[in-house]
Structure 1
Amino acid sequence: MFQDSPIYDRLIAECGDVPAQVRSEAERLSRELEVVLRPTRPLGYPHVPERPPSPGAGWQRTGVLPGPRPH
């Protein structure tokens, strides 16, 4: 992007290639997060295909009208 700019070249010489360092660190963090957030499987068990989520599983938002709540 700025490779032909003498100002950019001078900044890189003085401070290092900060955008490249940031990009590299972001890629490293992304790889680490993939490992951490990957669902775990018990060791020693054969591969079990993942089931599709069943309808209604997990958190669902329900509508609540404003005002006093019935007892």
Structure 2
Amino acid sequence: MWAAQHEAPIYSRLIQERGDIPAQVRAAAEQTLRDLERVMPAPLPRQQPSQSAPALHSGARTL
């Protein structure tokens, strides 16, 4: 639990009465992220451009 509980008796009492809401929210957020990763896999990394591909120039034209 939070280290400041020992310094803040009001916070400790609130946790005893209401539960550790920040920890519950954190756990729910982590579960949501796991669920999302399962149904929406991360996109594949972009491929590096090949050496034969033309390079982009910064606006300078050659004739």
**Fold-level similarity (TM above 0.5):** yes
Deviant stretches of 4+, over 4 Å: none
> Identity of aligned pairs, percent?
52
| Partner of residue 24 from structure 2, selected from 21, 27, 38 | 21
Matched, 1:32 2:42: no
Query: Structure 2 regions of 5+ residues with no counterpart?
Result: 48-63
Query: Structure 1 regions of 5+ residues with no counterpart?
Result: 40-49, 53-71
Residues paired across the two proteins, number: 44
**What's the TM-score once normalised by structure 1's chain length?**
0.51
More helix by percentage: 2
Which secondary structure state, in structure 2, belongs to the residue aligned with residue 3 of structure 1? helix
CA RMSD of aligned residues (A): 2.4
- Which of structures 1 and 2 has the larger relative contact order (alpha carbons within 8 angstroms, sep 6+)? 2
